[in-house]
Amino acid sequence: MNVKFAPSLMTMDLDNFKEQIEFLSDKVDSFHVDIMDGHFVPNLTLSPWFIEQVKKISDTPISSHLMVEDPSFWVDELIKVHSEYICFPAERANGIAFRLINKIHDAGLKAGVVLNPETQISEIKPYLEALDKITIMTVDPGFAGEKFIQSSLQKIKDLRSIREENGYHYLIEMDGSSNRKSFKRIFDAQPDIYIIGRSGLFGLSDDIETAWDMMTQNFLDATGVAITQ
C-alpha cells in the first residue's frame, strides 16, 4: 500500500529550515503550506514568499491550503510562485469556484478545495468533477494542536464512494491531529494523503531523522503498514 504523507510546514522547526526540508524531500510526496489571513481564521502563518524559499532547495510539490477571506487574491499570488496544488476554502468559493478552478488549471497547476468540519460535501457537488484534490479538516482550522473530530472521517469514506461511482480523479487528504492516537481511525477511512504536523512528526524529536523514524514506527504499530520511503 502506497501511503502518502504531507508534512505541515507551519509546525516545523524554522531554526533548522534547510536541514528539515532537505531530509523530508527524500521521504514525502508533497509539502503542506498553510496560508492564513488573520480574518478567515484568527491566525497568520506562512506566505507565498515562504514557498519561494522552499522551492530554492526542494523540488517536492507544494500544496497550499488557503484559510482566507479573499481566495481570488491569494490564488493569483500562489500562481506566481507556482504552488503545484492550490486549495481554496469551500466556504468562500460560492459564486467563484469555477472561475478559481479554471484560473488554476490554465496556469498548469492543480485545483483543490478544503471542507471544514461543519461544511458538507453537498456544498462542492457542482464542481467535484473538476477538482484535483479535496482536503477534509479533522480539526477546527487555524491552529495546531486542536482536538480530533471523529465525525469528519465519514466525509473521506463518502468522497471515496463518489469518486468510484463517477470516475472522478480527485485525491482525498485529511488535515488535523494525525498522530499515533488517531492513525488507525484515519487509516480505516482510507484517505490518499495524511497531513502530519507537530503531534504526528515535528514534535516527536528535535532531530528530524529521529522524528521521522518515530512517526513511521507509530504508523506501523497503529495500522500494520510499514512506510518504506
Ordered by where they begin, the domains of the chain are 4-223 (3.20.20.70)
pLDDT tens readout for residues 149-187: 999 999 999 999 999 999 999 999 999 889 999 999 999
Q: What is the reported pLDDT for 39?
A: 58
Rounded Cα distance between 229 and 221, Å, is 17
Report how far residue 2's alpha carbon sits from residue 74's, in angstroms, rounded to the nearest whole number.
32
For 110-157, write each residue's pLDDT tens digit: 999 999 999 999 999 999 999 999 999 998 865 555 688 999 999 999
DSSP state string for the chain: ---EEEEBGGGS-GGGHHHHHHHHHTT-S-EEEEEEBSSSSS-B---HHHHHHHHTT--S-EEEEEE-S-HHHHHHHHHHTT-SEEEEEGGG-TTTHHHHHHHHHHTT-EEEEEE-TT--GGGGGGGGGG-SEEEEESS-TTSTTPPP-GGGHHHHHHHHHHHHHHT---EEEEES--STTTHHHHHHH--SEEEE-IIIIITS-SSHHHHHHHHHHHHHHHHS-----
Residues 83 and 64: beta-carbon distance below 8 Å: yes
Average pLDDT on 207-222 reads 97
pLDDT in tens, 34-60: 998 765 565 677 889 999 999 999 999
Q: Is 175 a catalytic residue?
A: yes
Identify which of 59, 52, 113 has the alpha carbon closest to the alpha carbon of residue 80: 52
Of 92, 111, 109, 87, which is closest to residue 8 (Cα–Cα)? 87
Choose, from 175, 188, 192, 206, the residue flagged as catalytic: 175
Of residues 42 and 31, more confidence is placed in 31
Find the catalytic residue in 26, 34, 37, 221: 34
Residue 15 is a catalytic residue? no
pLDDT at 1: 63
- 5-28 residue pLDDT tens: 999 999 999 899 999 999 999 999
